[in-house]
């Protein structure tokens, strides 16, 4: 049992914080960041909080060539009485280690990573914005840094956590968005990396996104890569359809990301006795449900946007208007409850919230 | 028509060069590198040759999170009379721009990129090793550097060329290698990024590679991601089978990399009147050909290894020994001819070779 202390190197002057109404997503970063190194010889070592600064990385580092990288996304929220809290961070680090496994990256100590976030967020608490819908976005990521051009797992990595005060992900907020069903490009396929949160999945999605962005669509809806028939996910969110009183979401199949918000939505629906089923669902079935007048709601769910109602779904140049392009009752209740729990405004029956300790011990110790 | 000059910032002292017999692949880099920046406002700008050095990149740079990167691989060879030359570099930069298109990266000026390589290689000519099978590996790559966590094409990039003196890619040289057919993991699928040379394809391949490396296999043979039936490529090479006198290679289908060596092999076989066909070929057909005694040769083809005979192909725990695990005549002749042309030892009937100008003008100008 080794004791691990986070070394501190604090910056001498603080940056100016952006005005709340000017907050975008992921453009401004706080004063400090967390870093930890990995080498085959030392394992994960030298955890430290240092001033936010550029990384100095060899041009032959594997991350630039062979894309061996993983990341997570979560948020810190300010409660009405000024406390900082996290939402289910253990789910993120559990998933990070699953992504690590798929990408041949050595696992991290999940408990230690959460403590590192606690300490970093406590230090940067002044950066958590307090306006409605704003939060401090937390981006843990791992990159491969061995200076070597062979195609093989790297023997050096960096695990980094950066923080960014953010406004709402969609400018539209909880207003319904327009989604285009993607027929040409494929995000992921079983046997690939679709259930891992790794850079390549996002790089491959850009082309489809670009092709519809000019037409007023916020995201694309991905179909499976084999039959091009079954719904997988929406852009960077999982997707749900309410059909004839029952909520349906695509079952996890190896090519769909296992979202933390997805899991929370399922638990809440079960808690409320709203029928929810995870199964294969084809685009044809969604289309038919709309034709039959029983497609009552559709919405995406993810950390960045929480819950995003889908007001219009365009497939092969035919546009389905869902719920009169208005936010549905289930989406609204999920959004209100999830954000209510996240911001500490309503009860937390599942113990999802993790408080950030005000006086987080600077000489943090964790077993490794 | 703008004139573009490559700025020079030469290092004051040269590094020690590795001994020829100690050369590995991609571990040692030369004294200088080429860099050019891109911004939406300026386009590609400030081309420069500078001392090889770490890159200073913001931790929020998109390449670390969303994998938007592409690369190429080619080599500079030393001829018997001491001249440096390249092999079909225009093919690499044509492909780089196709990769750019798929990854939403702005195109580069292909002609200018080749001139940049010429100038860099001329400057580093002393680094080209002269022993049999050695060369100076050239790695052009583009990374997305905008400091922004939104999932969207970056608005800043760096195009970089680094050089590495290399020995043979496989320690076995032209000796036959063992390959395992991959049934669990998938490299790419139509609609994905398989025909682009982008990091994510290589990141996703590591797990399969790792699972067979301990069992003595050099690489895996990938099957298609839809039916898991058709041969796609071998590790980082295209693949060829000689069946009953005819050479067969998988047709380009959107998920297979269009190799420069693949193209050269096809041209050479046509030139020699050896039957060569590009078509779908199933693993079942390869297996059956072996059972029938007509699978005469199998080999991979790629820049790093040139031509690699496959002596053993293992599929579902059954091992096919091909050509008594010896190098076949076609593979040998292709290897000898390709390396002969590359090293300037034999005639170059296709004008594939591009000489590196000895006194490459330092104030290089190109139209952009």
Does the beta carbon of B1 lie under 8 angstroms from any beta carbon of chain A? no
ipTM of the complex: 0.95
Look at A52 and B59 and tell me if their CB atoms are within 8 Å. yes
Residue A116 CA, distance from chain mean position:
18
Q: Which residue has the higher pLDDT, A161 or B22?
A: A161
- Span B1-12, pLDDT tens digits: 355 799 999 999
Instruction: Reply yes or no on whether the pLDDT at B244 is more than 70.
Output: yes
Q: Quick one: what percent of chain A has pLDDT higher than 90?
A: 89
What is the chain B residue with the closest CA to A99?
B204
* DSSP per residue, A252-283: P-SSS---HHHHHHHHHHHHTT--EEE---BH
Q: Which run of H or of E encompasses B110?
A: helix B110-123
**pLDDT recorded at residue B175:** 87
| H-helix segments, chain A | 62-66, 89-102, 110-123, 199-213, 260-271, 283-291, 329-342
Question: Over chain B, what is the mean pLDDT?
Answer: 94
Whether A174 shows a pLDDT value over 90: the answer reads no
Q: Is B25 on the interface with A (CB under 8 A)?
A: yes
Distance of CA A335 to the CA centre of its chain: 16
pLDDT of residue B27: 95
Asked whether residue A46 carries a pLDDT value surpassing 50, the answer given is: yes
Q: A102 vs B152: CB contact, 8 Å cut-off? A: no
To probe the interface with A, which of B35, B64, B145, B219 has the most A CB atoms within 10 Å?
B64
Mutation site, B30, B204, B217, interface A, largest A CB count within 10 A: B204
Q: How many CB atoms lie within 10 A of CB A140?
A: 24
In this prediction, residues B283-303 reach a mean pLDDT of: 98
Contacting residues of B for A104, CB less than 8 Å apart: 206-207, 210
Give mean pLDDT, residues B185-195. 93
Q: Do residues B278 and B233 touch, judged by C-beta distance below 8 A?
A: no
Contact A44, A367 (CB under 8 A): no
Q: Report the first-to-last Cα separation within chain A, whole angstroms.
A: 6
The answer, for B67 touching chain A at a CB cutoff of 8 Å, is yes
Strand A295-302 to A306-315 pairing = antiparallel
Residue B225's nearest CA partner among B261, B184, B197 is B184
Task: Tell me which chain B residue has its CA closest to the CA of residue A304.
Answer: B150
Query: What does the angle CA A341 – CA A343 – CA A345 come to, to the nearest 5 degrees?
Result: 65
Among B57, B186, B228, beta carbon nearest to A55:
B57
pLDDT band for B363, please (50, 70, 90 cuts): very low
- pLDDT-based confidence at A62, cuts 50/70/90? very high
HEC profile for B198-260? CHHHHHHHHHHHHHHHCCCCCEEEEECCCCCCEEEEECCEEEEEEECCEEEEECCCCCCCCCH
Average pLDDT over residues B45-68: 98
**C-alpha span between B322 and B311 (Å, rounded):** 5
Contact between chains at A200 and B67 (C-beta distance less than 8 A): yes
What whole-number distance in Å separates Cα of residue A52 and Cα of residue B224?
44
Q: Can you tell me the mean pLDDT for B203-219? A: 93
The yes-or-no verdict on residue B22 having pLDDT over 90 is no
At B215 the pLDDT is 92
Task: Give the pLDDT band of residue A140 (cuts 50, 70, 90).
Answer: very high
HEC secondary structure over A127-165: HCCCCCCCEEEEEEEEEECCECCCCCCCCEEEEEEEEEE
- Categorize the per-residue pLDDT at A175 as very low, low, confident or very high, splitting at 50, 70 and 90: confident
The answer, yes or no, to whether residue B366 has pLDDT greater than 60, is: no
Give me the pLDDT at residue A360, please. Answer: 54
A170 close to B (CB below 8 A) = no
Q: Do B199 and A201 touch (CB under 8 A)?
A: no
Q: Which residues of A touch B63 (CB under 8 A)?
A: 63-64, 199
Q: Specify the 3-state DSSP secondary structure of B181.
A: strand
Nearest CA to A329 out of A300, A360, A299 is that of: A299
**pLDDT greater than 90 at residue A208:** yes
For A163, phi and psi rounded to 5 degrees? -125, 140
Mean pLDDT for all residues in chain A: 94
Phi first, then psi, for residue A182 (nearest 5°) are -90, 120
In chain A, whose CA is at the least distance from the CA of B187? A192
pLDDT band, residue B317 (cuts 50/70/90): confident
Give yes or no for A51 touching B (CB within 8 A).
no
pLDDT at position B170: 63
Q: Could you tell me the domains of chain B?
A: 7-171+351-355 (3.30.470.10), 177-326 (3.20.10.10)
Region A274-288: what's the mean pLDDT?
Answer: 98
| d(C-alpha A81, C-alpha A126), whole Å | 14
Q: Does residue A123 contact residue A32 with C-beta atoms inside 8 Å?
A: yes
Best to test chain B binding among A25, A55, A61, A64 (most B CBs inside 10 Å): A64
Nearest to A54 among B56, B185, B200 (CB): B56
Look at A184-188, A357-361, B110-114 and tell me which has the smallest mean pLDDT: A357-361
pLDDT value at B150 more than 90: yes
Whole-angstrom distance, CA of residue A315 vs CA of residue A228: 12
DSSP string, A167-192: --SSTTTTS-EEEEE-SS-----TTS
> Chain A within 8 Å of B226 (Cβ-Cβ)?
yes
């Amino acid at each position: 049992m080794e004791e691990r202390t986070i070394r501190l190197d604090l910056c001498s002057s603080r940056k100016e914080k952006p005005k709340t109404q000017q907050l975008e997503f992921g453009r401004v970063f706080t004063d400090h960041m967390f870093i930890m190194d990995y080498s085959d010889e030392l394992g994960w070592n030298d955890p430290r909080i240092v001033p936010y600064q550029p990384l100095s990385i060899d041009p032959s580092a594997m991350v630039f060539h062979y894309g061996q990288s993983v990341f997570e996304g979560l948020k810190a929220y300010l409660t009405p009485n000024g406390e900082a809290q996290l939402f289910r961070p253990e789910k993120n680090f559990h998933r990070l280690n699953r992504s690590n496994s798929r990408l041949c990256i050595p696992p991290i100590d999940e408990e230690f990573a959460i403590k590192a976030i606690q300490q970093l967020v406590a230090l940067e608490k002044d950066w958590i914005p307090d306006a409605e819908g704003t939060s401090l976005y937390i981006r843990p990521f791992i990159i491969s840094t061995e200076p070597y051009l062979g195609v093989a797992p790297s023997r050096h990595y960096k695990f980094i956590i950066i923080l960014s005060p953010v406004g709402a992900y969609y400018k539209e907020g909880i207003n319904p968005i327009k989604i285009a069903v993607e027929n040409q490009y494929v995000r992921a396929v079983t046997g690939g990396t679709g259930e891992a949160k790794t850079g390549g999945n996002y790089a491959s999605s850009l082309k489809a996104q670009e092709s519809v962005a000019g037409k007023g669509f916020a995201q694309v809806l991905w179909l499976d890569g084999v039959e091009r028939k079954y719904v997988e996910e929406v852009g960077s969110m999982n997707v749900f359809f309410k059909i004839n009183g029952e909520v349906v979401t695509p079952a996890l199949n190896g090519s769909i990301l296992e979202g933390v918000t997805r899991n929370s939505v399922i638990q809440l629906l079960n808690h409320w006795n709203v029928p929810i089923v995870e199964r294969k669902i084809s685009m044809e079935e969604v289309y038919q449900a709309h034709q039959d007048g029983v497609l009552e709601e559709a919405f995406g769910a993810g950390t960045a946007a929480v819950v995003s109602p889908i007001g219009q779904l365009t497939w092969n140049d035919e546009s389905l208007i869902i719920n009169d392009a208005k936010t549905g009752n289930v989406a609204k209740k999920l959004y209100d409850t999830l954000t209510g729990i996240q911001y500490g405004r309503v009860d937390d029956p599942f113990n999802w919230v993790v408080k950030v300790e005000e006086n987080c011990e600077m000489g943090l110790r964790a077993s490794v």
